[in-house]
Structure 1
Amino acid sequence: MFVPLKLLRVLAFDTSIFLQRLPLHLGDLVFLRYLSITQWFQELDDVMSNNPNLQTLVVSGNGAPTIHLPSNIWTPPHLRHLKIGNLYMVYPPHEDKKNLQTLSWVVRPIHCRKEVYNKFPDIKELKIFLKDDIEPSHIGGCCRNPIILDHFDYLKGLEKLSISVSIRCSAALPEQCMYPSGLKKLKLSGTNISERDLNVIGMLPRLMVLKLENAFHGTVWNTVANGGFPLLIFLLLEAKELEQWVVSFHHFPMLRHLVLRSCNCLEQVPKRFSWLKSIELEGCRSSLVASAKQLQQMRRSMHFKDDLEIKIIGPKYDDSQNTHTQVSM
């Protein structure tokens, strides 16, 4: 049965060229609820201005230079999910968007403030890619001063937070940065956080997934706070300068999956991680691989029901009794 194009509710294209050739005025797609495209073009302005039913918009283009999207992208009154690739940027809305639950966008340093994020009072998932204030035509520019990211604890309903920083920017958290107590997933990429910041993160009562990609540049991480990371299940740690990682008995009680990436200076996996189910090592030194093997043998000697699975990515590890297996995360 043929459905008239103007009655479509879901429209997704890997390329936007075909969409531009449709024999239809795109402003007539007033029943559209879901729109996913890879490239923005001017005719889509009518969709945003005239569609009262749109709930999800995905513009997945990535690359450079940055292209500004029109402000009417915020117009649909029932917009719940907005995901924009790092090729595009849109200025914050003038009014509160109380229905918005998911937001993924590129922001300037001046927009990383409470006044902006307060416009999304019921946001549950926030992903920001921080770019510097250079003009699109300028190449090789950089942020003049380090960017201090604002607090996020005022986003009471936030469950997932991802912060990625452009390689040309330098960003850090406030001295006493706080997070929403209900946060379940946190990803920091390219930031500059301290050991104190890690201890604050460790006190989040519901955090289950933590990814630190080139975010911590210290040489020592000593988890000193009592009961740190009580529900954390998955940890990804990329820390090129980390030399020593001290974990007390009361930390990471639920941790099951550990990924260590480019930990060039770290020699040992904490011995208290014998309860892990999987360890993935990527671009790490051979002594770190050997310590993971020791944990595997320790677990076997303790007669655990499940074996510790180890995945090694990078230069081949010379071990005549290689027992590592593949892990799908």
Structure 2
Amino acid sequence: METSNSSFQKVGSQRDARSTTVVGYDEDARILIEKLKGGRKQLQFISVFGMAGLGKTTLVRKVFTEPLIEYHFHVRAWTTVTQEPKKRDLLLGILKSGFDVDNKNESDMELRATLKRRLSGQRYLVVMDDIWDSKDWNDLMLCFPDDNLGSRIVFTSRLADVPFKVHPGCYKYPLRFLSHEESWNLLRYRVFLEDSCPTSLIKIGQEIARNCKGLPLSLVVMAGILASDQTANWWNQVGEDTSSNVSNAPEQHMKTVELSYKHLPNHLKPCFLYFAAFPEDYEIPAWKLILLWMAEGLIKTTQTTEKFPEDEENSLEKVAAGYLNNLISRSLVMVSKTGSNGGIKACIVHDVLRDFCIQRASKANFLQQLPRYQLHVSNTPTKSTVKRVYSGSDSEKNFILELTRYFQLENLFSPYETLLNKSTDSLKVNTILCCNASLSFYADCYDFYALGAFRVLRVLDLSGTGLSNVPHVMVSLLTLRYVALCIKPVDDHRGFVDLSLPNSMNSLIFLETLIVHNRKENGIHVPYETWMLNRLKHLILRGNIVHQDIPDSQMHCLSNLKTVSTQIPLDQCKKILEYTPNLRKLGIRAALYLSSTKLRIPNLDKLQHLENLSLQNDLNPGYDLTDNLLHRELTSPFMFPATLKKLTLVCTFLKWDEMEQIGMLPNLEVLKLQCEAFRGEKWETTDGGFCRLKHLAFKFIKFVQWSAYSEQFPNLQHLKMDECTQLEEIPIGIGDIYTLERIEIRNCNYAVVQSAHKIIEDQLNKGNDFLKISVFQGMQTSV
């Protein structure tokens, strides 16, 4: 069940062309493509190295996504190596990227065996981005078989000596600085795209480009400054600032970033510095970033009240989305993933920009890194003035204990003693962040007592801490607005295990966001008091969740609630939806059939603002259904609100005839069908539907034939086929859809791949070279 794409996340409905186009390095890309495709059939190694900000990752990513490379290699995988890498995370990253599998339950030895088995007999391309030490590779080298098929492994590194240590035959490619002409072309493109530069700006623009010394990162950041004001006076002022402050020395990168930060509007500065709280190379979910900004009070609006009408353009969510778009347009933040609706799904900041945020945030006492960064920063704020603290370590340490030691709270043994202890009166901490979910910190109930000392806490994000218990002490933190927890299995936990949210959850009267991810087999119990939080806007409960029955006398209108995503019994869900009229995103995981052959879901007629709906039938798709239950039906042709823009169905076992009703939804843009959402051998698409559909995705759908024409999907942009192993072909008419940009095929049978190539050939013969095809065949030996 997806929970991350809330309606407010549609920031930048079209991807910023500036961030997706590579200017310069065309010859470098050509050389690398030749090295990847040509040469010996033995496994070969290629290292692209150079200083930070030179564009190593950008160049390799450009080559990695080239259609020729996509077609040439059976498997392509990309993983980023941090300065403190974990072998397990690298293995998981390669498996997730190359095969779209999640093997988190396997041991390290099993992961190595799985990766080697998956790569055997394949022509594979693996990129290890930003490698710092050859031992990072040496720990993994036995996982990569050499089957004489032309497989390649590419490293990017800032260190020139790494390729020598990785493999004596490694092809070393030092990345050069851009020429003056290339620098000007890049700067000009990032500011004006395809438009021409005004004559009055050319001379000063070329001078600014020359002062960036051929460093792409400096040019990109500088373009963000110049794009904000395209007047000669402004460009001359920027030119004077850069004439002596920018060079190709590593320590001078900060001068360029400093200049860009200096010219940021005041309301964007704290939002930019907030990126210091996220780990190196961490892809930050846009929805999470926006919710954190809001909880921190960083989003400013012209409105004087806290309550906004549903259709009010100046709502906090839309203002926050605008902030993120602004930072992206200024080239301070990069888009790393886009959602199926074209919005920004995740973002990331360059290492140099993150380093700047860390230094400036600490200096300004905006964010304090724990447990180690304060040792390297002069003028460290006193503990009584620290406002926000976050995890600064990628190693397996108990973040809660580190926090306790830093604030000298070791002698607090219970929440009661914590609240009475006068030594904590001076603590002004508003935020505690440990949000890298790939880390493995562990803490149990005894560790949490000291949290009660932080009496003015607004944000408690422990999603990167492997909790063995739910921290009940949080209900004493009455100012909380945002809570995120992750409960994980622990082999050697201490003491009593409590997997229940506290009954007094309703004491958190200011709470707006509650996120709990349960990775244990045992269910987390959610008391009915949770549904009594009047200000709650986003409730996201993942994993095995057990809801306490809600007494009718306790139900009241939750007009602020916009997002609900949880596993919940159907009868309780029906009761809740009666009191949540303003929901925009709803994710339901429940037994949707019981003994009936009709799809049983709550009445959604009252949800006049619902845009995103995910229905997951809590039944294994491999369940041996009896003949009379082979196909299911919708209970009503009008069961889905007309406002729906995105619909995801999982394990619903509907008949293909029911698709006609879904196609008539007037605003539907995204349709995802997973794990036998529909059953039957043939889908004959009917006319008159899917008038606005842009994204159509199938995963584990067992249909054999699909009959469709271009007129039936007039606005389709992206077709995705994943694990559709029985489908014979993609309809040839799909290629005639004028708006279609990409067909993506992952682990389907060879006939589907062939039909996709026939579509491409047919379109090329008609003069259409716009349509692209991506093929990922991790389980097949030929494409």
After TM superposition, the score normalised by the length of structure 1 is 0.82
One of 711, 714, 724 as aligned partner of 1:263: 724
Cα distance between partner residues in 2 of 1:20 and 1:166: 25
**Aligned with 1:84 (options 541, 548, 551):** 541
Cα 1:229–1:63, aligned 2, differ >3 Å: closer, same or farther? farther
Which of 579, 603, 607 is the aligned partner of 1:155?
Answer: 607
Give the aligned residue type for 1:32.
L
Deviation, 1:300, is: 2.0
Out of 97, 101, 105, which is 2:566 matched to? 105
Report the CA distance between 1:111 and its aligned residue. 3.6
Give 1:35 deviation, angstroms.
0.4
Q: Match of 2:686?
A: 224
Percent of aligned positions that are identical: 27
Name the CA distance, whole Å, in 2 between partners of 1:17 and 1:218. Answer: 44
Q: What is the identity, as a one-letter code, of the residue corresponding to 1:34? A: Y
When residues 216 and 19 of structure 1 are mapped into structure 2, their CA distance, relative to the original with a 3 A threshold, is closer
1:8 aligns with 2:460: no
2:626 counterpart of 1:165: no
Name the residue aligned to 1:322. none
Q: Would the alpha carbon gap of residues 249 and 306 (structure 1) be closer, same or farther in structure 2, given more than 3 Å must change?
A: closer
Deviation at 1:47, TM superposition (A): 6.2
Query: How far did 1:261 drift?
Result: 2.4
Paired residue type of 2:774: I
The separation in 1 between residues aligned to 2:571 and 2:532, in whole angstroms, is 23
Gaps of 5+ in 2: 1-384, 387-427, 430-453, 488-496, 624-628
- 1:97 Cα shift? 1.5
> Equivalents in 2 of 1:246, 1:88: separation in Å?
40
1:112–1:32 distance in 2 versus 1, CA, 3 Å: closer
Distance 2:653 2:669 in 1: 22
Match of 2:589 in 1: 129
* Deviation by residue 1:119-172 (Cα, 9 ceiling, x = unmatched): 21111000011148xxxxxxxxx9555563234333211000001122358875
Q: Where do residues 126-275 of structure 1 align in structure 2 (5 Å cutoff)?
A: 126-131=586-591, 143-146=594-597, 148-150=599-601, 151-168=603-620, 172-213=633-674, 214-226=676-688, 228-238=689-699, 240-274=701-735, 275=737
Deviation, 1:50, is 1.7
Q: SS state of the match for residue 77, structure 1? A: coil
* Distance (Å, rounded) in 2 between the aligned partners of 1:123 and 1:20: 27
**Residue in 1 that maps onto 2:344:** none
Partner Cα separation in structure 2 for residue 26 and residue 316 of structure 1 = 50
AA paired with 2:476? Answer: D
On the 8 A contact 1:127/1:163 being kept in 2, the answer is yes
Contact 2:478/2:508, CA 8 A, preserved across alignment? yes
Q: Which runs of 5+ in 1 are unaligned?
A: 133-141, 320-329
Aligned partner of 2:744 among 280, 295, 305: 280
Q: Is the 8 A contact 1:86 1:129 kept in 2?
A: no
CA distance in 1, matches of 2:727, 2:559: 45
Q: Closer, same or farther in 2 for the Cα pair 1:21/1:89, shift >3 Å? A: closer
Relative contact order (C-alpha < 8 Å, sep 6+): which is higher?
Answer: 2
Shift in alpha-carbon separation, 1:198–1:18, aligned structure 2, 3 A: closer
Hey, which of these two has a bigger chunk of strand by percent?
1
Offset of residue 112 of structure 1: 5.2
Give distance in 1, aligned partners of 2:475 and 2:724.
52
Where does residue 325 of structure 1 map in the other structure?
Answer: none
Alignment check: 8 A CA contact 2:586 2:610 kept: yes
Report the CA distance shift for 1:300/1:144 in structure 2 as closer, same or farther (over 3 A). Answer: same
Distance 1:233 1:27, change over 3 A: same
2:477 maps to which residue?
29
Contact 2:756 2:773 in 1 (8 A): no
Residue 198 of structure 1, CA deviation: 0.8
Tell me which structure has the larger Cα radius of gyration.
2
Letter in structure 1 aligned against 2:669? M
Match of 1:50 in 2: 507
Whole-angstrom distance in 1 between the partners of 2:520 and 2:732: 42
Q: Which secondary structure does the structure 2 equivalent of 1:7 belong to?
A: coil
Q: In the superposition, relative to structure 1, how do residues 252 and 63 fare at CA in structure 2: closer, same or farther (>3 Å)?
A: farther
Residues 1:47 and 1:17: Cα distance change in structure 2 (over 3 Å): farther
Q: For 1:306, which of 743, 749, 770 is the aligned residue? A: 770
- Aligned equivalents of 2:533, 2:570: Cα separation in 1: 26
Q: Does the CA contact (< 8 Å) of 1:33 and 1:55 recur in 2?
A: yes
Amino acid at match of 1:290: Q
1:60 maps to 2:511: no
From the two aligned structures, give the one with the greater helix fraction.
2
| Structure-1 separation of matches of 2:646 and 2:764 | 31
Please say if residues 685 and 712 of structure 2, whose CA atoms lie closer than 8 Å, have aligned partners that are also in contact.
yes
* d(CA) in 2 for partners of 1:64, 1:209: 32
Output the CA distance in 2 between the equivalents of 1:242 and 1:16: 41
Once the two structures are superposed, what CA deviation does each residue of 1:199-229 show, in whole Å capped at 9, x if it has no partner? Answer: 1111111111110002010212112232x11
Distance 2:467 2:780 in 1: 45
Name the aligned partner's letter for residue 302 of structure 1. Answer: K
Answer yes or no: is the 8 Å Cα contact 1:160–1:183 preserved in 2.
Answer: yes
Deviation at residue 21 of structure 1 after TM alignment: 7.8
SS in 2 for 1:128: strand
Letter in 2 for 1:216: F
Answer whether contact 2:504 2:529 (CA < 8 A) is retained.
no
Distance in 1 between the 2:705 and 2:499 partners?
A: 54
Kept after mapping to 2: 8 A contact 1:220/1:245: yes
| Alpha-carbon distance in 2 for matches of 1:26, 1:178 | 39
CA contact (8 A) 1:27 1:46 kept: no
| Displacement after TM superposition at 1:197 (Å) | 1.9
1:43 Cα shift? 8.8
CA drift at 1:182: 1.2
Aligned residue among 516, 526, 529 for 1:72 = 529
> For 2:514 and 2:598, how far apart are their aligned partners in 1?
29
- What is the rounded CA distance, in whole Å, between the counterparts of 1:146 and 1:196 in structure 2? 15
* TM-fit CA distance, 1:265: 2.6
TM, length-normalised to structure 2: 0.36
AA matched with 1:157: H
Measured after TM superposition, the shift of residue 241 of structure 1 is 3.3
Match of 2:586, as an amino acid? L
Distance between the aligned counterparts of 1:9 and 1:21, measured in 2?
A: 16
